[in-house]
A and B are shown apart, each in its own frame.
Chain A
Amino acid sequence: MGIFAEGIESLKLACSLVLLVPALGVALMGRRRVWLVPAWIVTVTLITWLGFARWWSLRDTGFWHVLAGVILVALVALAWNRDALGTDLAATVVAAFLAGWTWDPCVGSELGDIITSAPFRPWSQLGPSLLYFGGLFIPLILLASIEVAVPKLGDWISHPSVRNAGLSIVMLVGALVSITLFDDLASELARRSSF
């Protein structure tokens, strides 16, 4: 459970903003959280775990990074027009991929053990990685669960204006990544926060 708790503690780290800002957007995207939240968590886990295991060798700079940002903007625009599960899922997966790829973590002792072991025993570190991100994204899990447990509250947090706000955040992330300014947004948020 230590790794899960360390994930929760990481919610307060400025280093986690790169993940939490787009996660907030996905969390607000609307009535399909039961699908979107697991997709978000699994995708972030997979891309970071691949990096820890050194099976993913592309640095988060240059052409491919910009291209991923442009694809995210296009997918969010599509999701806005269609309002369908497929497009929402596609935007979520690309946003999660981009966030996980961009993230340079501040590392506690439990995550440090995962990162240290992953190049030598990659498969044994997949479960602990999932637990870590389960902790870090626990607000998303709570939102998705509340939507199911208390449908009236679900109606309120799935209001079209909330969905528009969520899509705006994800689109802003994609736009800033595609012009290589996303780090500056995270920097400004970190500076203004009380971390």
Chain B
Amino acid sequence: MGTRLAASVIVLAGVAALLWVALGGNSTNTATSATTVAATTQAPSTETDEPTRETTELVEISIPEPENFGPRMDLVDLDGWLNTDATSIDDFNGQVVLVEMWTFGCFNCKARIPFNQSYYEQFAGDNFEMIGVHAPEFSFEADVANIEQALIDLGVTWPIALDTDKKNFRAWQPGTRSFWPRTYIIDQNGEIRYDHIGEGKYEEARETIQYLLDNPPPPLTAP
């Protein structure tokens, strides 16, 4: 009798948890919330530059120097690029570059897009660029026509490197497992200064970009 009662409680709790999530009780991880936050962030800068400047000043005072995770790897054996005339990641040397491992069918990758779009707009004209490394999980995501259509549908306008065989997706991510999405920010010397797996930490990424643009590292000298 006690066992049946305990099992019944688990059933009720489980159904309640399912309903809670289905009805949006956990709002920390949805594309909707991502869109809302990104829209809020962008709104002031479309009306006036003033709020953006205030944010910049705040960043300069409060943000510590981003950690250095070492030099970036190359992007090799790609199947081409979209949205750019570039043919190599080296074409972006000297710039602050956000590199994101993603695939268009990935829910969590799509949740990041409004934030990426806001970085792209906010730092347009600065020494900043973004590269989406498209690493398909499923075969239909490897079709270039499908990728091109997805870029239009999702509003992705920044350069895309096609990593169909996932060689770079695997090589950039040490260990036994690779993740969608994974975001890196590379400084002007080609050093990784931000490395984040999954959704979230959007403002940290924005602050890192701002910091690197405001405080470019001294050029590396040959040993």
**Count class of interface residues, chain B:** 35 or more
Interface string of B24-53 (1 = CB under 8 A from A): 011011100000000000000000000000
Judged by a CB distance under 8 angstroms, whether B8 is at the interface is yes
Closest CB-CB distance, B190 to chain A, in whole Å? 22
Beta-carbon contact of B11 and A142 below 8 Å:
yes
Least CB distance from B220 to A in Å reads 27
What bracket does the count of chain A residues touching chain B fall in? 35 or more
Chain A residues with CB below 8 A from B25, complex form: 5
B18 within 8 A of partner (CB): yes
Contact flags B175-188 to A (C-beta < 8 A → 1, else 0): 11111111000000
A110 CB contacts on chain B under 8 angstroms = 28-29
Q: What residue of chain A has the Cβ atom nearest to residue B22's Cβ? A: A8
Given contacts A9-B26, A105-B177, A109-B198, 18 further A-B contacts (CB under 8 A): A8-B17, A15-B137, A56-B176, A104-B137, A106-B106, A107-B198, A110-B28, A112-B197, A135-B17, A138-B18, A141-B10, A141-B14, A142-B11, A184-B139, A187-B138, A190-B138, A190-B140, A195-B105
Contacts of B178 in A (CB 8 A): 104
Chain B contacts for A195, CB-based, 8 A: 105, 107
Knowing A108-B29, A109-B200, A195-B105 touch, does A142 contact B180 (C-beta < 8 A)?
no
Which chain A residues in 151-176 approach chain B with CB under 8 Å? 151
In A176-195, which residues have CB < 8 Å from any B CB? 183-184, 186-187, 190-191, 195
Is B196's beta carbon under 8 Å from chain A?
yes
Query: Contact: B199 with A109, CB < 8 Å?
Result: yes
Q: Pick the contact of A108 from B4, B7, B8, B199 — CB < 8 Å?
A: B199
Map CB proximity to A onto B117-159 as digits: 1 under 8 Å, 0 otherwise. Answer: 0000000000000000000011110000000000000000000
* Pairs across A and B, CB under 8 Å, 18 listed: A5-B17, A8-B17, A9-B30, A13-B108, A60-B176, A106-B106, A106-B180, A108-B111, A112-B200, A115-B179, A138-B17, A141-B10, A145-B7, A149-B4, A149-B10, A183-B138, A190-B140, A195-B107
* B109 touches A (CB below 8 Å): yes
Q: A115-B198, A195-B105 are in contact. Are A58 and B176 (CB under 8 A)?
A: yes
Q: Which residues of B contact A (CB under 8 A)?
A: 3-4, 7-8, 10-11, 14-15, 17-18, 20-21, 25-26, 28-30, 105-109, 111, 137-140, 174-182, 196-201
Contact (A54, B4) CB under 8 Å given A15-B137, A112-B196: no
Complex contacts, A60 vs chain B, CB 8 Å? 176
* CB within 8 Å: A-B pair count: 148
Q: Which of B11, B180, B181 contacts A145 (CB 8 A)?
A: B11
Interface contact A59-B176, CB-CB below 8 Å = yes
Q: Evaluate contact between B7 and A149: CB separation under 8 angstroms.
A: yes
Interchain CA distance A105-B103 in the complex, whole Å: 12
Residues on the B chain within 8 Å of A12, using CB: 107
